[in-house]
Structures are given as structure tokens and as C-alpha cells.
Amino acid sequence: MGTEWEDHIIGRTLAIESYGNKVARDLTRISMTAVNRLRRRMERISEKSQFTRGFLHRVIGELSGTIYKLAPKYQKTLEKASLRVLELEYDKFTRVMRKKGGLSIKKANYKVPVEAAKAMLEEPIGGASIKGWAEKHLGRLLIRTKNLLTEVVITGGTMRDGIKILRENIPNMSRKGAQFLARTGVMHASNTARDEVWKEYGDIIEKFRVVSTLDNRTCLACGKIDGKEAKKRENLPKFPLHGNCRCTVIGLTALDLRDEDKLVRPAVIEQTSHTVHHRDGGTSKKFKVIKSKEVSAKKKFKDFFERQPEKWKQEYLGPGRYKLYKENRLDLEDFSSNGNILTLEQLKSQLTIMGTLEKEVVEKEKERKKEVKKIIRKKEAEKKNPK
Ligand SMILES: [Zn+2]
């Protein structure tokens, strides 16, 4: 039975999701428009029965112009959607906080400034900003188009072959990209709005905690910091930590802390994934939760991981890391450092260094024992033959 605010959250979350989907749809649509414009132009070329490479070069130049003309549109869509998502998230959180805090704080009529949405797009996530990603995405579209067309010319294919190849190849990239962008973008907006709310309601928050998802898709770096707490929000990392990151930071009130023993969090025990083939030729992955349960809110990802069967751990870590985990008794914490997942090479070289250090310690210990024995023998000899 949902309380009023729980229903409210569900409603808001759905609205946010639909905005995320809208961004994805818009991105796919814009990419498709680019492809369709390319196709129309290419058809016009194929009507003129003969063409030279020089002519084709000029056409490619024109095509580049078309794609770049679409770039600002792409950017505007992103900005508008981000702003709306930020506002929805902000509104949701102020309401929840008022309810939870039981405080009569003035009605939130806060308007998220456009700069916030713009800044959000510029802020890097896992090494790249959303804006940078969009530019790169368009750049890639262009490079790919050029490469595909060049290939057609070199192999003596017809223009129709070129069109077919373009249609088959480009929408696929844009769908995945759009999905990545929508997911990461919504998480980013959500976290930015939350952080804004913490600033205003900071006085009722006792401490902050990192919450990642308890399932087999949580990365090693995020799993390591799940449950990490701090008195100040700024002493915890900013999320999303990387593309498709689902982690967040929650603020805990005195009320939450009082009831903590009773609080639970969901854990996904089993989930399946399957590839969805779309009509435009693109593919995406859909996940379905088969089995989930509620565990104590005090349980961290590390505990969740340790309780899983060996087969699960093996699949989660992969064969190389699993071997190190078993044979070298590495912990979940050992697989990442400062938010970066360590490569197998890095892990192995660390183990070698540790091995050498261990040997040194053992050698020193042996020498120390020898020294002690020597002293004892000397003292005993002195006792037997006192001068
Ligand atoms: Zn994460």
C-alpha cells in the first residue's frame, strides 16, 4: 500500500523516465534525419549515370555540411530535456524531504537556471562530458559515412550499395548511443538535483551514504564504495562515476538512522538479458529481473558479493580476476583504485611487488632470528665459563 508521497515519487519517476525516452527518441530521430538526407542526396547522384571520384569528394563535403547543420538541433534538444529532467527531480526531492523531515519549509518554487542544465552537459562523466559525447557521436557518424562511401567506390559497388550500407550501419550506432546518453543523462540530472536539494535541506541530514545497485551489473569500482558514508556531501564522489552508472548518494535524517535496523534495500539475485532487434536495424539489450529479495539496508555490495555462489562470482569477475581472487585471496576492494578498475596486468604487477616485499620481510625475520640465537648462545657460553 503506497503512501501519498510514494505514489508521487512513482509518478515523477515515470515522468522522468519518459523524458529520458524522449531524449533517446529525439536523438534517434535526428540521426535518422541525417541518414535520410544523405540518402536523398545520394539518390540524386545515382541518377546522373556517371561520376568521378572528384565529384564524389565534393558530395561528401556537402554531406558533412548537412550533418553539421543538424548538430545545433541535437544540442538544443539535449539542453531542453536536461533542464526539464532537472526540474522534475528537484521538485520530487523537495517534496519528499519536506515530508520526511516533517518540517514546514516554504513551498519549493525553485526554478533550475538554464546554466545548470548547460553546466550539467559540460560536466565530465567517466572522462567525457555528455556534450563532448554528442559531438564525438556526430563526428563518428561523419567519419563512418565517409569510410563507407569510400569503400563502395574502391570495391566498385553501385550507389545503391552505398545507400544500403549507410542505412544498415548508421542507425545501429545512433540507437546504442542514444540509449547510453539517455540513461547516463537521466542519472546525471537526478544526482545533480539531489545535490542541490541537500544544499537547501542540509540541516536535517545527519550523514550521506553511497548507494549502488546490488546486482551483477554493478562495476567493481562502484561496488567497492557502496555504503561509504560521510558527514559532508562533498566528501563523497560525484555520480554518475562512468557511463551507464546507476549509483547515487542518499541523505539520512535522524529518523532514518533511528529506524535503520528495520530498513531494507533490494538485491537482484538473478536476471536475464536478451538482445532486442529494432525495425531500423539497431539492437539494444533488455534486462529482466528473475529473482530478487530484500536485504538489510546495512548490507553493502561487498557482503552481497561474498554471499553469492561461486558460479555467480566467476561470471561477475571474469576468469582472470576470479583466478586472482581465489588463488591470491584478493578482496573485492583490491580490483579497483581511486574509482578506476585495475587491468589484469596492473593487478599482476601489484601482486609481484607484494610478493617481493613479502620475501624481503621473511628474509629479514630469518636474519633477526639468527641474531637472537647468536646472542643467546653467547650468553649461555658466558654462564658456563665465567671469567
Ligand atoms: Zn556506479
- Centre of ligand 1 to C-alpha 165, Å, is 36
Q: What is the mean pLDDT of the segment spanning 307-324?
A: 90
- The model's confidence at residue 301, banded by pLDDT at 50, 70 and 90, is very high
The more confidently predicted of residues 284 and 6 is 284
Beta-carbon contacts of 174 under 8 Å, excluding residues fewer than 6 positions away, are: 27, 28, 31, 32, 137, 141, 282
The Cα–Cα gap between 2 and 59 comes to: 60
Q: What is the pLDDT of residues 9-49, one digit of tens each?
A: 455 555 555 666 666 566 666 666 666 666 666 666 655 54
Q: Which of 195, 248, 245, 243 is nearest to 86 (CA)?
A: 195
Q: What is the pLDDT of residues 253-271, one digit of tens each?
A: 887 788 888 888 888 877 7
The pLDDT of residue 26: 64
Does 113 reside within a domain? yes
Share of the chain above pLDDT 90, in %: 8
The pLDDT of residue 16: 58
The Cα–Cα gap between 129 and 238 comes to: 13
- Centre of ligand 1 to C-alpha 219, Å, is 7
Q: What is the pLDDT of residues 137-183, one digit of tens each?
A: 666 666 666 666 666 656 655 555 655 665 565 554 444 554 555 56
- Centre of ligand 1 to C-alpha 150, Å, is 40
- Centre of ligand 1 to C-alpha 211, Å, is 9
The pLDDT of residue 20: 60
- Centre of ligand 1 to C-alpha 220, Å, is 9
Per the CB < 8 A criterion, the answer to whether 224 and 236 are in contact is no
- Centre of ligand 1 to C-alpha 16, Å, is 19
- Centre of ligand 1 to C-alpha 197, Å, is 21
- Centre of ligand 1 to C-alpha 348, Å, is 25
Q: What is the pLDDT of residues 342-376, one digit of tens each?
A: 888 888 887 787 777 777 777 888 888 888 889 88
The more confidently predicted of residues 181 and 119 is 119
The Cα–Cα gap between 98 and 96 comes to: 5
The more confidently predicted of residues 188 and 305 is 305
Q: What is the mean pLDDT of the segment spanning 322-326?
A: 89
Which of these ranges, 83-87, 183-187, 190-194, 367-371, has the smallest mean pLDDT? 183-187
Does 204 reside within a domain? no
With 0.85 as the threshold, say if the pTM is over it. no
Does 383 reside within a domain? no
Does 319 reside within a domain? no
Does 190 reside within a domain? yes
Number of independent structural domains in the chain: 1
* Burial bucket for residue 187 (CB in 10 Å: 0-12, 13-18, 19+): buried
Does 152 reside within a domain? yes
The pLDDT of residue 224: 93
Q: What is the mean pLDDT of the segment spanning 56-69?
A: 66
Beta-carbon contacts of 242 under 8 Å, excluding residues fewer than 6 positions away, are: 125, 126, 127, 219, 221
Q: What is the pLDDT of residues 224-264, one digit of tens each?
A: 999 999 999 889 988 888 877 888 888 888 877 888 888 88
Per the CB < 8 A criterion, the answer to whether 250 and 95 are in contact is no
Does 39 reside within a domain? yes
The pLDDT of residue 222: 92
- Centre of ligand 1 to C-alpha 133, Å, is 19
Domain of residue 151, residue span: 4-196
